[in-house]
Amino acid sequence: MNVAALVAYDGTAFAGFQRQSPDKGPTVQGAIEQAIQRIAGVATTIEGAGRTDSGVHASGQVISFQTSARLTPPDWQRALNALLPREIAVRAARAVDDGFRARHSALARGYRYRVLCDATRDPLRERYAWRVSHWLDVPVMREAARSLLGEHDFAAFGSSPHDRRDDGFRGPTVRTLLIAECDQRITCASPPAAEPAVDPVGEAVEVEFRFTANAFLSGMVRRLVGTLALVGAGKLTVAHFQAILAARDKAHPGAAAPACGLCLTHVAYPPGSITW
């Protein structure tokens, strides 16, 4: 049977999704494969839709694996959740066609990134958001983000799997961005009716970026957010941001935003291939 599962995890303590050498720390893939081996009695390799980096979270990761164990998908869900660490949960499991593969069958992936604008530390919320001590201009960041929609060469914001090949070949860095949104989430007790035109005093403001693409480069979302945050802080103009995209050069002021604010939220597949 070919099994697909919807997985959520808090990535704080993990060295990313993809299995690595033990000296680099625990991974989500490693934890799931260990649990499957305990259940089925044989080593099993899983495929994940997104290879999230160290410290990145997921609410909509999808995995798939082949098994000859005589368990139904609900049995797999219960058994895995009984063995997995509390930071990982299988939210659903389904039997899928033999040709389904979590990564290679995917049409698009969606990520969310949250920034907390607060001058005072907030230890609980900072686990899942990047705190900056200054206000960010949401409308101007939204305008800059619209420049990303469609097909572009995103070499300025990420690396392809082949970037480090010894023969000098640079892998394709062209991707199609389907959604690039930026919105404000006021977290005070009585939020204003509209986005503030000036830095709000005494209010913690949460900014949420949402990106969906046919595929992402390594580090792409975090570098995009780090650069857009410079636009929101008034350190780059929208025109400067657009010039960075067009230049396709990583040598620009936008550093990668911290991993804690990033979450893989959903993966899209061809109609009829899988439903949760």
Q: Write out the catalytic residue numbers.
A: 53
Nearest 5°: the CA angle 205, 208, 212 is: 175
Nearest Cα to 156, choosing from 148, 164, 167, 146?
148
Go through 184-216 and write b for each residue having 16 or more CB atoms within 10 A of its CB, e for each that does not. bebeeeeeeeeebeeebeebbbbbbbbbbbebb
Q: Which pairing describes strands 57-66 and 262-268: parallel, antiparallel, or unpaired? A: parallel
Compute, in degrees rounded to 10, the torsion defined by CA atoms 259, 263, 269, 274.
Answer: 130
Compute, in degrees rounded to 10, the torsion defined by CA atoms 237, 238, 240, 245.
Answer: 150
**Residues facing 177 on adjacent strands:** 150, 213
Phi-psi region of 205 (alpha: psi -120 to 50; beta: other; left: phi over 0): beta
Question: Which residues does 213 contact at the CB level (< 8 Å), separation at least 6?
Answer: 108, 109, 175, 176, 177, 178
